[in-house]
Amino acid sequence: DLVSLMVQQDQAVIFCCVRCLGSVVNNLTHNYELVRNCLDVYSGCLLHYKKLALDGQEKEVERNHPTTKRSLYIVGLLMRFFDFTEKEVLGPFPETTRDVVLDLLLFYFQLEELQCFALKAIGSACVRNSQMMLTPKLKTIYLDILSDSSASLDLKIQVLSNLEQYLQEEDDRMVKQDQKWTKLSKQEDLKEMGDVSAGMASTVVQLFLKDVLECYFHPNVGVRQAVLRVVQLIILQGLVHPVQIVPYLVCMSTDEERTIRGNADKRLEEIERKYPGFVHMQAQKGVCLSYRLQKVLRAQASSTVVRGFRIQEEGQPDALNSSLYTILRSKQQRHAFVLSVLKRFDEPKVDLTELVFLVDNMAYFPYQTQEEPLFVIHQIDVMISVTGTNLLQSFLEALKPNIALETEIEQTGENKEEEDEEDLEELLSRLPDNTIVLQECLVASQGCLLLLLLKQHLKTLYSINDNKISEYSPSEATKVYEKAICRKKHAVFNPKTTMEKIKQETPQEILNEDDKRSLLSEFLEFKQLLMSLDSDGKENDDKNAISNAEVNSDISLRTTKTIPSLKDRTNNNTLKVQSKRNSKSVNRKRSHHTNTKNRKKPRRNKSRQKRKKSYQSSDDEDSSDSSDSDFEL
């Protein structure tokens, strides 16, 4: 009955029939002759149509495609549920039966209309015969499909499904073997047997893991879901070191699909719990891969600019990498992560859209304490003070030298360079013919502008004033900044000027008159912005200096009332020494008078007198030294 159902029903029923047949024959009847007959019939059908195809009768083969597809599917399932390497199963069949079947399936993979069915049959056969995946032909087919971005969508998903099917079956088999070996623990070396059984799965995974992970950067959600399922099985079985998978899990946690995000977050939390610090080690790489994924997803949409946040159901924006920031629980890890993100702004030739993506994330990270946004603002101030100055210097060095100004400086000795650097007409005369370097400097200045906008956004979002910023120091461990922070609602980070800059065309080597003036105007605006920041910093320093001076003057006024003059201090010191001597002598006389009543008068030693004289002389020297030290002060 099961064999007759395989001839008539669809794929789901055929799968159940062959699986049931395998359980009955392998465990009860051991009627492998029936299995050999089935394999002989359907493989013979495939051999017949293969011969027709080789003889040039393609139309006859196309006419019988339904029969060929059914035969491919059944042959693959028979290879999955029956072990054709055992003599009992093979019977009169040759030992090369498995290799012959694999070559037959690979032949039908060459026919375009039958590729997907051939791959499905190959995947079923490889579940029990994992060595097939290590053969050069099949390995090349799998790797080409996974790595080729133009490969068929169905083929990609089928290859990933084949790997998932193999790993799932291997996991079930290991569970059954563990249950069986627990009963035979005294007779068998379970550790050695388990390692040998898991070794083949680990070899297969290491062979295809890199291409499987890279295959995730695909616009189709079905491909991304298939990759995630394979990755989850690899992590659960512990087939490879998880540190190489962490960046891709961070990337998956930013996916548009909620189920993918949720599963990726769970896997990251499990890895951080089992291996503390692994997520932090690969956090920066994970953010870069997140940007890469968003570029792939935005390529299908109308929006060309990649943003680093999403709008939640409540209408509030949330950073795409917010879950990653939440997993980094310690202060040191979060500081190191923020510094690694800000470091991208110092790297040359970083895409401006990537900087927007990073700033969006930092604008909406779930900061928990006051110290976290203050640390970001502090690092922004440090970076801008260095990077902004370097950009201005690079821009000025790319201009033509001002010969007239140099001769005037040599004659008069007066430096008017700063005044000329702020004159638009003077700068216009110094523009070179090729302005690519100047335009690149202004594009790079957008990174500084983004950081300034981020600073202002954080100040508004968390109600941070300038006094808190000036008082904050990362090296101080104060509990004042450990308080929970409140976040305002409906505060949107929107860098308009940078977004307009991204939408502009690529820079041109030769500009017209209007473009040159706009270029220089943009430079002067950026320079004025940096100058205003420097002046604000100087004003804050002056205020701090004034306040310190007031405090010092107040202290000096108080001390003048209580501390005598230098002459008085020296006289007081001598009086104190004499009073100490007198008090000592009086005390000695009193003690001597009281002691003579009770005991005999002790003999006075000459050395004691000498010590007393030396003590007095040392007191005199100390008084003179103290007076000298007071004079020096």
Query: Over the stretch 332-386, which tens digit does the pLDDT of each residue have?
Result: 999 999 999 999 998 877 889 999 999 999 999 999 999 999 999 999 999 998 8
Residues 228 and 215 sit within 8 Å (Cβ to Cβ): no
Task: Please compute the mean of the pLDDT values over residues 618-622 and round it to a whole number.
Answer: 42
Pair of tokens at residue 522: 């943009």
Model pLDDT, residue 312: 87
Residue 36: Cβ within 10 Å count:
19
pLDDT category of residue 189 using cuts at 50, 70 and 90? low
Q: Name the pTM for this structure.
A: 0.79
**Cα 442 from Cα 500, distance rounded (Å):** 13
Pair of tokens at residue 255: 């996916």
Q: Using the predicted structure, report yes or no on whether residue 421 has a pLDDT greater than 70.
A: no
Q: Using the predicted structure, report yes or no on whether residue 164 has a pLDDT greater than 50.
A: yes
Model pLDDT, residue 505: 60
Residue 452: Cβ within 10 Å count:
18
Model pLDDT, residue 120: 96
Task: Please compute the mean of the pLDDT values over residues 377-403 and round it to a whole number.
Answer: 87
Task: Please compute the mean of the pLDDT values over residues 160-185 and round it to a whole number.
Answer: 85
Residues above pLDDT 90, as percent of the chain: 52
User: Domains of the chain: which residue ranges?
Assistant: 1-128, 367-559, 564-588+612-633
**Cα 196 from Cα 185, distance rounded (Å):** 16
Query: Over the stretch 192-240, which tens digit does the pLDDT of each residue have?
Result: 444 445 678 899 999 999 999 999 999 999 999 999 999 999 999 989 9
Amino acid at 410: E
Amino acid at 265: D
Residues 321 and 362 sit within 8 Å (Cβ to Cβ): no
